Amino acid sequence: HLDFAGLMEKVAQISPLLRVRFATSHPKDISDSLIQTIAKYPNICKYIHLPVQSGSSVVLKKMNRVYNREYYLERINTIKKWIPDIALSTDILSGFCGETDQDHQDTLSIMKEVEYSSAFMFRYSVRNGTKAAENLIDDVPDEVKAKRLEEIIALQQQLSLENNQKDIHKIFEVLVEGVSKRSDKKMFGRTSQNKVCVFPRQDAKVGDYVHVKVVSCTAGTLITELVDPC
């Protein structure tokens, strides 16, 4: 019997040049063995997308997410312990049925505690056929949803910028993905932490690995220069 951690290990062993990234994990499925496998292999990306949806245990229960705030944070702490250079991203939903201002504050506080590098952020809307549509009342006014989402987006912008600022002066191995949208004299690629880097084109080709040093950043991009292999 091969579990997901074992499958990741087998894929990572195919070639050290093969960069392995898996897209998303439900918090209930992020096992210790999977975390340790990610930590063990340099070619498994040090990036985990772990959707939280809400920082409030009350809302999570209504969403039928089968975990609470404490469990989620325990998983995050375990990930950070095993993989100190991990980048974490998430999905956040504002204005779910019955969400109070305190529930919203709980979401903001979990964002600060985890320090996500990025997030996909949405306001709740009824989806036909779901349990929420059948059993819960969509009772948070649109203007409240919009205001809460604005606060979530503003906080994430700040967290993303602070997260990227910590990378200034660091050297990363980057997989070249293509020519920069803003200048054909520059290329872009991603670090193991799934962060987009822009760097001078020189001889870099798509599919190459290059080493770059971070010189500045925005909330969404690391501005880098090429360095000799470290």
Burial-class residue 187 by CB neighbours within 10 Å (0-12, 13-18, 19+): buried
> Has residue 229 got a pLDDT over 70?
no
182-198: average pLDDT: 95
Query: What's the CA gap between 186 and 100, in Å, rounded?
Result: 47
Percent of the chain with pLDDT over 90: 88
- Residue 230 pLDDT exceeds 60: no
C-alpha Rg value of the chain to the nearest Å: 19
**Burial tier of 202 (Cβ tally within 10 Å: 0-12, 13-18, 19+):** exposed
Q: What's the pTM?
A: 0.93
Proportion of the chain in helix, strand, coil states, percent, rounded to 5: 35, 25, 40
Give residue-wise pLDDT tens across range 98-110: 999 999 999 999 9
Lowest mean pLDDT among 47-56, 61-70, 127-136, 185-194: 127-136
Query: What is the per-residue pLDDT across 56-114, written as a single tens digit (0 to 9) for each?
Result: 999 999 999 999 999 999 999 999 999 999 999 999 999 999 999 999 999 999 999 99
The 10s digit of each residue's pLDDT in 205-228 is 999 999 999 999 999 999 999 997
Least Cα distance to 227 among 195, 207, 199 occurs for: 199
